[in-house]
Chains A and B, each alone.
Chain A
Amino acid sequence: MPSVIVCPSCDLAHRADMAPPTTRTLCARCRALLQRPENANIDTAIGLAAAALVLFLLSNAYPLVAIHSNGTTRSARLAGAALGLYRQGHAGLALLVFLTTIVGPFLQIASLLYLLIPLRRKRRAPGQSTIFRLLAQVRPWTFVEVFMLGAVVALVRLAMFARVVPGVALWSCALLMLTLAALTSITSPGQFWRWVEQSRA
């Protein structure tokens, strides 16, 4: 029996030789993406993850925006969004914002670095499969791009009655959004396990 690829979306079995890894293949039945050509370099991934880590730290260290009105100035950081909700007694919402804007991106970046740096030296990180599953669980809960758009909406509403000055973190957050998108697209689960196999050879 030839080796088989099973579609995770509809369970249809495809012969692996009908879906060469160099082409983009859709499932013959449900049109889900079955396979796409991937040959990302592990160094590129580590570089992007390191850049994302720096941008993440910048996004947390500096204010996102400041507003000036009647001689009063007020600024907010990324953590301030969750903290403000918490102070008003909305711990549930605060937790949701905190998890999706700070914990999610951090775990995604940190776990990738933890997995990929040893792999580059042909070693395996302790608890590799556990961390990989953590990464797979966290990934859908990283909402940096949505947060950015939310920030734009908030700024537009504020600009009606105060002078709004974008801070360093707003720019680094925008760059983080792009870096994370690139990182996610080159470190798919399939690609990650291919790197693991290559490190064994």
Chain B
Amino acid sequence: MNSTTTGRSLGLLVCLQCHATVRGLKLSHPRCPRCDAHLFQRKPHSLALTAALLLCAAVLYVPANLLPVMYTRTIFDEEKDTIMSGVLVLLHSGSWPIAVLVFIASIVVPLLKIISLSVVLFSAWRRSPRYRTQRSELYRMVEFIGRWSMLDVYAISLLVALVQIRSLATVAVGWGALAFGAVVVLTLFAARTFDERLLWEPPP
């Protein structure tokens, strides 16, 4: 077994659910003998699905950041908050560590995810032989940090639940929050439909 022997060349499949190594059966739809999951040499339609989900996420990233995510009505006035203005409110109130946290989780992470997944997707499509280990690691980092973008959705949902005091203030959700939630979910699915092993296919 040399340094480039792959599961595919040995006729072996890996179960992505339980990580069992399975001798590739000659069946058209093999299933894992241990956990009964469907087995694939590579995830089906991986590149096309990831590209489609990623494109939707990139388009929705714009309204997610421009539309208000939250309206605060007090007896005196009404305030609109976008994701960014929410960060500025936190910054001006003196809680800058929280402001930095929200800025990273809500603005930097989604953008970084869209860019990184595009890079990874493009190089898998080109079967580019360079920086494969780095791209693999980039992909795994995206998978790991992706969930943290949900932070603001949860914060808004709690504010909506709590601030409903007519005589003082009420908080309403804006459509930006829906776009934002959609970006998070779409990028999570985009990362899941991407088959990391496509980064390691031999060049054409």
Contact of A11 among B7, B155, B163, B182 (CB under 8 A): B7
Indicate whether A193 sits within 8 Å of B35 (C-beta atoms), given known contacts A31-B136, A74-B164, A158-B159.
yes
Q: Is B168 part of the contact surface with A, judged by Cβ < 8 Å?
A: yes
- Kindly state the separation between the CA atoms of A8 and B101 in the bound complex, as whole angstroms: 33
Indicate whether A81 sits within 8 Å of B200 (C-beta atoms), given known contacts A28-B3, A130-B36.
no
1/0 contact string of B168-204 vs chain A (CB within 8 Å):
1100110001100110010010001000110110000
Assess the B154–A133 pair: CB atoms within 8 A.
no
Q: Is B48 part of the contact surface with A, judged by Cβ < 8 Å?
A: no
Assess the A136–B160 pair: CB atoms within 8 A.
no
- In the bound complex, residues from chain B placing their C-beta under 8 Å from that of A147 are 150, 154
Q: Is B27 part of the contact surface with A, judged by Cβ < 8 Å?
A: no
148-172 of chain B: CB within 8 A of chain A: 148, 150-165, 167-169, 172
- In the bound complex, residues from chain A placing their C-beta under 8 Å from that of B17 are 132-133, 136, 189
Interface residues on B, range: 35 or more
- In the bound complex, residues from chain A placing their C-beta under 8 Å from that of B13 are 6
Indicate whether A72 sits within 8 Å of B153 (C-beta atoms), given known contacts A9-B196, A136-B18, A189-B17.
no
Q: Is B8 part of the contact surface with A, judged by Cβ < 8 Å?
A: yes
Q: Is A153 part of the contact surface with B, judged by Cβ < 8 Å?
A: yes
Assess the B4–A149 pair: CB atoms within 8 A.
no
- In the bound complex, residues from chain A placing their C-beta under 8 Å from that of B4 are 12
Distance (whole angstroms) from the CB of B65 to the closest CB of chain A:
17
Assess the B200–A11 pair: CB atoms within 8 A.
yes
- In the bound complex, residues from chain B placing their C-beta under 8 Å from that of A80 are 161
Assess the A151–B168 pair: CB atoms within 8 A.
no
Indicate whether A32 sits within 8 Å of B162 (C-beta atoms), given known contacts A12-B4, A133-B37.
no
- In the bound complex, residues from chain B placing their C-beta under 8 Å from that of A4 are 1, 7, 10, 12, 21
Indicate whether A8 sits within 8 Å of B16 (C-beta atoms), given known contacts A88-B160, A96-B181, A151-B154.
yes
Contact of A10 among B136, B154, B177 (CB under 8 A): B136
Q: Report 11 cross-chain contacts, Cβ distance below 8 Å, ordered by A residue.
A: A9-B136, A13-B7, A70-B165, A72-B167, A90-B178, A136-B17, A146-B150, A147-B154, A154-B162, A160-B93, A161-B169
